[in-house]
């Protein structure tokens, strides 16, 4: 018998076969003609996410984020395998240092879900050498924040996370750890009482940035997890990627901000798509993005309006559009 609360088992029960996904979601039989059956970046959908996708609807905004379409194979001008200059920013294996004061640590290649728009889907991940990583952080006293990323850092075991936090805590100039993760949204079972206790007990100031793109991703179970994080004294922010036919609609973005705030989560960034090969069908123009932002500003409380940004390789911060 499998335990629906055991997160490793939930992951094992993820769907990896597009054919099976189509059957389970009762999509029209001829829809398969548009689907890429063996994408290079494989399909991966955990059960909790699958359950939120509406059956029989090929246009479901959550389905669109995870199902590979043949459109992905069409080459598109300006779309590349390393759109934000990650390769150039890799200072040693596993460390991306682009911006002053903070470094990004790629702690694992694994994710709980595969998002079709992921800008790191072609990234050649090599497991970092821990000695090099800690030496790098230790030697630059200008670094005050370490951002755990990947992949998804919450796929590390509690043991490995705990070791990591302890090692970072010993470095005097590190004040904060930021955890960028889609796990609270797509695999809420991972957010166990043990994990909450581990986070609460850390002496580092912990900030969470979750990645939700659509209000349908946040049900009461996810909401409860978000509130628990907040109750541990953790600041929780959200970032969203602006995606065509997923959330490029002011009503959806307004609902998303309102729903996040219902669980005490503040919107942080609304990102333009990073132009990664295979994701051109998600692109929203800058002009359309600015029009959306204007509606959000009219309709939302100021603190519920995310910052509209794009990442430009080589520039010292994420570029605001307006």
Ligand X SMILES: *Cc1c(COP(=O)(O)O)cnc(C)c1O
Binding site for ligand X (CB under 6 A): 89, 96, 98-99, 102, 104, 147, 317-318
Judged by beta carbon distances under 5 to 8 A according to partner kind, the member of ligand SF4, ligand X, none in contact with residue 118 is ligand SF4
* Least distance from ligand X to the Cβ atom of residue 197, Å: 27
Judged by beta carbon distances under 5 to 8 A according to partner kind, the member of ligand SF4, ligand X, none in contact with residue 182 is ligand SF4
Question: 120 to 179, contacts with ligand SF4 by CB under 6 A?
Answer: 120, 151-152
| CB neighbourhood size of 279 (10 A) | 24
Judged by beta carbon distances under 5 to 8 A according to partner kind, the member of ligand X, ligand SF4, none in contact with residue 64 is none
DSSP character string of 124-149: ------HHHHHHHHHH-TT--EEEEE
Question: 183 to 242, contacts with ligand SF4 by CB under 6 A?
Answer: none
Judged by beta carbon distances under 5 to 8 A according to partner kind, the member of ligand X, ligand SF4, none in contact with residue 98 is ligand X
Q: 102 vs 167, which CB is nearer to ligand X?
A: 102
Judged by beta carbon distances under 5 to 8 A according to partner kind, the member of ligand X, ligand SF4, none in contact with residue 115 is ligand SF4
CA distance 314 to 156: 30
Taking contact as CB under 6 A, which single stretch among the options 22-30, 90-98, 111-119, 250-258 is the one that binds ligand SF4?
111-119
Q: Which residues contact 148 (CB under 8 A, 6 or more apart)?
A: 105, 107, 164, 177, 178, 179, 180, 181
CA distance 23 to 168: 46
CA distances from 99 to 89, 103, 107, 128, 315 (A): 10, 7, 18, 20, 9
What value, to the nearest 5°, has the Cα angle with vertex 38 and ends 32 and 41?
A: 120
Q: Is 111 in the site for ligand SF4 (CB under 6 A)?
A: yes
């Amino acid at each position: 018998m499998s335990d629906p609360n055991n997160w490793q088992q939930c992951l094992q029960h993820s769907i990896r076969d597009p054919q099976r996904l189509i059957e389970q979601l009762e999509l029209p039989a001829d829809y398969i003609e548009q689907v890429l059956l063996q994408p290079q970046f494989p399909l991966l959908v955990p059960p909790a996410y699958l359950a939120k996708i509406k059956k029989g609807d090929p246009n479901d905004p959550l389905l669109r984020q995870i199902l590979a379409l043949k459109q992905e194979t069409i080459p598109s001008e300006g779309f590349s395998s390393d759109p934000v200059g990650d390769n150039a920013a890799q200072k040693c294996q596993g460390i991306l240092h682009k911006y002053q004061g903070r470094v990004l640590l790629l702690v694992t290649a694994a994710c709980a879900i595969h998002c079709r728009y992921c800008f790191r889907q072609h990234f050649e991940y090599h497991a970092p050498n821990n000695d090099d990583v800690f030496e790098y952080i230790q030697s630059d006293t200008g670094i005050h924040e370490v951002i755990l990323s990947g992949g998804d850092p919450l796929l590390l075991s509690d043991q490995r996370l705990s070791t990591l936090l302890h090692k970072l805590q010993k470095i005097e100039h590190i004040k904060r750890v930021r955890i960028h993760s889609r796990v609270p949204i797509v695999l809420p079972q991972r957010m166990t009482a043990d994990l909450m206790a581990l986070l609460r007990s850390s002496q580092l100031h912990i900030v969470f940035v979750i990645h939700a793109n659509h209000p349908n991703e946040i049900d009461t179970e996810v909401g409860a997890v978000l509130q628990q994080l907040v109750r541990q004294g953790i600041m929780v922010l959200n970032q969203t990627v602006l995606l065509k036919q997923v959330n490029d609609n002011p009503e959806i973005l307004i609902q998303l901000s309102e729903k996040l705030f219902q669980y005490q989560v503040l919107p942080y960034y609304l990102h333009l798509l990073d132009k990664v090969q295979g994701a051109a069908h998600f692109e929203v123009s800058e002009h359309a993005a600015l029009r959306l932002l204007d509606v959000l500003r009219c309709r939302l409380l100021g603190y519920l309006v995310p910052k509209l940004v794009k990442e430009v390789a080589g520039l010292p911060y994420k570029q605001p559009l307006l």
